[in-house]
Chains A and B, each alone.
Chain A
Amino acid sequence: MKIKVFSYNTLDTPIHHMSGLSKFICFLLLTFTVMFSYDIRVILCMLVFSLWVLRLSQIRFSQIRLMVIYVAVFLLTNFVISYLFAPEQGPEIYGAKHIITVLWGRYTITWEQLLYQGTKTMKYASVVPLGIIFMLTTNPSEFAAALAGVGLSYKVAYAVALTLRYFPDVQRDYNDISMAQQARGLDMSKKASLGSRFKNALLIIIPLIFSTLDRVESISNAMDLRGWGKNKKRTWYARRRFSRQDVAGIVISVLFFAAGILVSVFINHSRFFNPFQ
């Protein structure tokens, strides 16, 4: 289980030149647009745009292969079980029923259901590139500055930064403890029964938590000694100045956001795009 949380590398692309703060603002605006809208045309536009930005930021497929597999499996299971649980959800939302064929009993295939499930799948899929772009092109040190920049308390932002900083350490602790316990004869393989695997997991978690609590003690003492948290505000070493790219990115995102809302209000008169009435 070797996994790097953020496989960030510095590249010379317009996306990498944007500051973490403006990328975060763009991410929030675009994600909100996708979550709000239920119009497949808006969502497809967003998907195409985010895939274009993904290309622009020169992210290689090898970096995101695992995520793509996870998302694909998720989308597929979601597609199948939402049909099994509610084959009539589409007709219910759009208030019409155009049957293509009848499978068996209440399981019919309708245009409405296809549109509903297609839209939902695209909706889930189109936030994925946005998140990937934000995470893989932002220097983790800039993360905290970005969070504090959108008005979050700097203490919370600092907690996120510390999480990213200490994740590899905790992971190493976990591996060490797991090895030590296995050396003492703990069976962690798939051969052990479910109950004993659960018990064995606990035998690793307990020492892990105790070493973590020791670490909390020493880190918080070190921070207290340096006067952390004395003032209401703090500055960030990793914060960058706004550049042309930042302004462009935010303007584009605001336009998408506004367009998404306006389409819902003036064209569809609801969050849903309904071609059936």
Chain B
Amino acid sequence: MADTAQNALSGPQGPKPRKRLSRNNILIYGTLIVVALYYLLPLYVMVVTSLKGMPEIRLGNIFAPPVEITFEPWVKAWSQACTGLNCDGLSRGFWNSVQITVPSVLVSILIASVNGYALANWRFKGADMFFTILIFGAFIPYQVMLYPLVIILREIGLYGSLWGLVIVHSIFGMPILTLLFRNYFTALPEELFKAARVDGAGFWQIYWQIMVPMSLPIFVVAMILQVTGIWNDFLFGVIYTKPDLYPMTVQLNNIVNSVQGVKEYNVNMAATLLTGLVPLVIYFVSGKLFVRGIAAGAVKG
């Protein structure tokens, strides 16, 4: 009996054996490694250069690791580098950027999420028209609106102030964020909304107690989009503020592009890395939620 059972099991059985080093795998991993190196090489050069002293840089071996590691360029970039009349480094720009980014992100996400919620669940008259206009706004080139916005801000007395820039960022974030939130809320089961209405909850109660707690992923996505977008913005920053209030990106440009004196490559590299640090940290901290939210918000609905 046992013998016949054994005999019955000749030929392929159990898990299929896989070769580690098949042609396919070599091709796939080879390509991935080359592409990864291609992207990482500039970063490597930046990090290495920012840790060298100027004499070492003048030798010209940009790929060589630093012989003598120094953090001097980082300190200088942060607190001593000169832009125009100020010589207090990037720190001023950093704090300006924080003061611009935090309120802009909060205001734009708050308004856009309420917009999206109203568009998805409270189908008021003309909702489709309103939505179309809003999305259409996303396709108008920024350049067209620059000058009118200068005039508007001047008339309401906010031109050249941080708050003026906050308003501009909040407005320009509106179309894409509203679309994002609307799609996410549309994908949530409609019966939840109905049940809450039967339970006597109003517009704001449903928003705060039912919708918001279910929407963490999409809020994270919106936050990442806005933080990186606003932090990296250069155009609005340079137009709608004045030198004292320039955001970090504008200040970085002024440091790197300054024409007097010796080009301090190590300071420039350190300054650039410092400026890019905030979006980078945001990505690392919330990467998983980001992917989940993008999938939920964009694909469904």
Q: Do A and B bind each other?
A: no
